Amino acid sequence: MGSIQVALSDTAKADALRVLLARSTQVPVLCAESPDFAAACVVVMDAARFGSLPRPLTHPERIVLITRNDPGHLKEAWEAGVHSVLSEQDPLNTVVLAVLATCLRSGTARQNQDTGGRARM
C-alpha cells in the first residue's frame, strides 16, 4: 500500500489538507518537498511543484493537481495526462474527495482488503 503525499508550496495549506486526509482514510498521509511516486498511491501538487517534474511523467494518473483556472495551466495538465485537476479556489473538502477517488482508482483500497486490512475510504 502506498502513501498519500502532499507536495504543496503553501505549508499551512499542506498541513491542513494532511489533517483532513488523515481523518478520512487509513492510508498514511505525508507532507513531502519532492514526491516519491514509487512509494505514493496519490501525490497532491500545486502548479509550482508540478512544473518542476521531469517530463514525461511516470504516473500522471496518481497526481491531484491544484492550479489556477487558466487555459495554459489546464492544457499543460491535460497534455501531461493528469486525471484530477482542481482550482486553487476549491475548498479542501473537494480536494479530499479527489484524493480519495484517486486512491480508489489506483487500487489502494483493493490492496488493503486483499491483505485482510479494512479499507476505509
**DSSP letter string over 37-99?**
TTTEEEEEEEHHHHHTS-SS-S-GGGEEEEE-SSHHHHHHHHHHT-SEEEETTS-HHHHHHHH
Residue span of the structural domain in which 83 resides: 3-114
CB 29 within 8 A of CB 92: no
pLDDT(109) > 80: no
Domain annotation covers residue 81: yes
Residue 49's CATH number: 3.40.50.2300
Domain annotation covers residue 71: yes
pLDDT for position 106:
82
Q: Which of 21, 106, 25, 9 is nearest to 59 (CA)?
A: 106
Q: Output the pTM of the full model.
A: 0.86
Domain annotation covers residue 104: yes
Structural domain count, the chain? 1
Summarised one tens digit per residue, pLDDT across range 2-43 is 899 999 999 999 999 999 999 999 999 999 998 999 999 999
Domain annotation covers residue 121: no
